Amino acid sequence: MRISIKHIILFALLIPGFKVMAQQFLPAYEIKKIQRGQAFIRWEPYTLEEWEKSQDIGYTIEVYEQYGNEKKLLKEEQILPATSSDLLDASNTANAFLKDFYTGVHTMLHTDQDLYKYIQDTLLTFENERGTPESVDSLRLGFMLYAATYDFELSKMTGLAYNFDFDDNKKYEVIIKLEGYKDRTLSITKDDLPKLDVPKLESEFKDKSVSLKWNTEPYKNKYFGYYLEQSEDGKSFHSISSVPFVNQMDKYAKGGNNFLDKDITLEKNYKTYWFRLRGFDYFGIKSVRYSSVEGYGFEVIREMPIIIYANQTPNNEAHIKWKLKPTSQRLMKSVEIHRADERSGPYTPVLKDISIANREIKVPMDSTRNFYRVFVIPKDGKAVGSLPVFVMGMDTIPPAIPTGLDGRIDSTGIVQLSWDQNTESDLWGYRISMANDSTHEYTLLNASPISSNEFKDTLDLKNFAKYAYYKISAVDKRNNRSPFSTVIVVEKPDVMPPAPPLLRKAELSEKGIAVYWDKSFSPDAKVHRLFRKIVHEETDWTLLHEVVAPDTTAVFYDTSFEYGKKYAYTIQATDETGLISQPSRPYLLQPVDNRPKKSIAKVNVDLNKKKRQATIEWILSDPDQVSEIMIYKGKDKDNVSLYRIVSTDTTHIVEDIRQNNKPHFYYLNASYKDGSITHYSELIEVKLP
């Protein structure tokens, strides 16, 4: 005998995953899926009014094939809910599991007045407040959407689903239309093929039972529920339940984790069982892929070990004794000792793989405060631990070396040090030491340890120490000190210009004016720049030359000078940060041209035989620089003497020649105003035939 529809609805209200309010039952108002050459579509009315109208006139479905920006209409169909007779016929032919769902959908679509009144007056009446027509219709739609999830053919009979043949090589556009409502448009391509994955099935086997769990949150838009299957031979599987397991919290879960769990009783211990998990989607299709686990139940240790003695030895060890229940030893594999700083933990193993035959152990202690538990490690299952005991220890162990030391300095010389905080429970603090040179002795900066992992120091920037060196050590409450940390080097901001270089001398040389200097003794001096100006003529210095480290040149030859002018030279150093030293004390030099000059540019001799006279003419090289002209004469070219001195206005002399064929020899020389030495003219020979 079939149960009544009232019982079906009551049963549905208790099923995980069924919601009285329809909106929103599906993961979206429109969902799609491609499988086995078919495209499946389900949708949900946005409002009850939309649903009511769709029952009267139905939705129109248009399927288009897309070609780039063009599309071609393939089919157009009107989708109406199934008639009462069609649903009854389908219900009569449905299998036993689906029959009640078909019957339920039929009743919700074609609800008679008696059932409508029953839902309104009984199921939806709370605290004497009668259900509204809207709440009744919402329950009807919600149940119908829920029931239709179990079979896609049933979904189609609700008038809220559609499918068509799908070609992987084509692109489709589906438009769902209802008069008076906005069109719904879906694009369907091969990219919509579902990923063939399911949640990972996790297991914990126990005494004749297993706890299974899986994370549903990442799959909540893909699967409505999940089927668990069990096997005793790993080949033949049967479903554990007739309906899928549904996680009601998926609607609200965020952050990627929302586990669904199931405890299953096993008939026997030490017999292997296999379990598989399959997804069940919103189109009534069970996933092909599955995740699986296998294992066996086992007898568990039910008696915990009992510590009967715990004390400190003279060697600072924890001496621990315990007892075990003999009846459980056959289930044990080994014993471990776990330790914690606090009674509540966390506990970590300090000794492992102790024989179950042992009943006592000595454990070296590194801390003064120690809580211990004895754990029995079983052959199967979880470890079983004793109640904790406390053992006081002697502290001779220094803290760990501080790590992560880092330093930052600002433009005023304030240094901010920071480092990783030590984790010792008995830590007193830190001592900070500093030196101005890596080879110097370090100075302790704080008389008492500081508990913070930060420290501020102030450096004098007005000295020539370029770096500061820091290291720290940790100290515990028993004054055990760690070794020093790694040294860090803090580079000071450069606010001190380099020391000025020394300009030693400038002198006239064959190569020009040679300027010599001693470099700045500042180690960060990078560039030396030599400047020059003409005294009484120039006010600004002109850059002559620069030397960039590592070039060590300390001399420059100035070839652009003029004799007779007075020059001043100075030099400055610039460091790596661009700071410029004071200029050196200027060095003054007025170069005098002591080289012999060719004062007579040209000489010409004109002989007058008739008058027996010789006219000697000359042209000066630098007439403006000459003060007078000296004429030398002699009868022997190697024995001439000063004959006459004439002014610069004189350009020639006339000499009488009295004797024939007897030569006279002449030289000309000019005296310069600045005292420069000049060359004699070429030898002038005068002779008449």
With 50 as the cut, is the pLDDT of residue 22 above it? no
Residue whose entry in the numeric block shows the structure tokens 């959908």: 105
Banded model confidence at residue 100, pLDDT cuts 50, 70, 90: confident
With 60 as the cut, is the pLDDT of residue 15 above it? no
- Asked if residue 42 lies in contact with residue 25, where contact means CB atoms within 8 angstroms, the answer is no
The most distant pair of C-alpha atoms in the chain lies apart, rounded to whole Å, by 176
Helix 96-109 to helix 5-14 angle (10° resolution) is 100
With 80 as the cut, is the pLDDT of residue 669 above it? yes
With 60 as the cut, is the pLDDT of residue 3 above it? no
With 60 as the cut, is the pLDDT of residue 468 above it? yes
SS3 at position 129: strand
Alpha carbons 290 and 278: distance in angstroms, whole number: 5
The pLDDT tens digits for 618-662 are 998 888 888 899 999 998 888 999 999 999 889 999 988 877 778
Alpha carbons 42 and 33: distance in angstroms, whole number: 9
CA 26 to chain centre: 40
The pairing of beta strand 369-378 with beta strand 332-340:
antiparallel
Least confident window among 184-198, 490-504, 672-686: 672-686
Sign of CA dihedral 214, 219, 224, 229: negative
Please give the share of the chain, as a percent, with pLDDT higher than 70.
Answer: 94
- Asked if residue 508 lies in contact with residue 587, where contact means CB atoms within 8 angstroms, the answer is no
With 70 as the cut, is the pLDDT of residue 335 above it? yes
The pLDDT tens digits for 472-531 are 999 998 889 999 999 999 988 878 888 899 999 999 888 999 999 999 988 889 999 999
Alpha carbons 374 and 359: distance in angstroms, whole number: 10
The pLDDT, as a whole number, for residue 358 is 95
Banded model confidence at residue 677, pLDDT cuts 50, 70, 90: low
Average pLDDT over residues 260-285: 95
The pLDDT, as a whole number, for residue 127 is 59
The pLDDT tens digits for 206-232 are 999 999 999 999 998 899 999 999 999
The pLDDT, as a whole number, for residue 1 is 33
Q: At a CB cut-off of 8 Å and minimum separation 6, what does 589 contact?
A: 506, 507, 508, 513, 566, 567, 569
Banded model confidence at residue 19, pLDDT cuts 50, 70, 90: very low
- Asked if residue 426 lies in contact with residue 478, where contact means CB atoms within 8 angstroms, the answer is yes
The pLDDT, as a whole number, for residue 126 is 65
Alpha carbons 344 and 351: distance in angstroms, whole number: 19
The pLDDT, as a whole number, for residue 11 is 45
Residue whose entry in the numeric block shows the structure tokens 């606090």: 342
Compute CA distances 465 → 134, 300, 485, 495, 573, whole Å.
86, 71, 22, 12, 18
Structure tokens at 637: 């070219």
Least confident window among 34-48, 141-155, 401-415, 673-687: 673-687
Considering only residues 325 and 353, tell me which one the structure prediction assigns the higher pLDDT. 353
H helices of 149-271, where?
Answer: 152-157
Q: What is the identity of the amino acid at 382?
A: K
Q: Report CA dihedral (136, 142, 147, 150) to the nearest 10 degrees.
A: 180
With 50 as the cut, is the pLDDT of residue 275 above it? yes
The pLDDT, as a whole number, for residue 539 is 92
The pLDDT, as a whole number, for residue 455 is 96
Average pLDDT over residues 528-545: 94
Least confident window among 132-141, 446-455, 561-570: 132-141
CA 472 to chain centre: 29
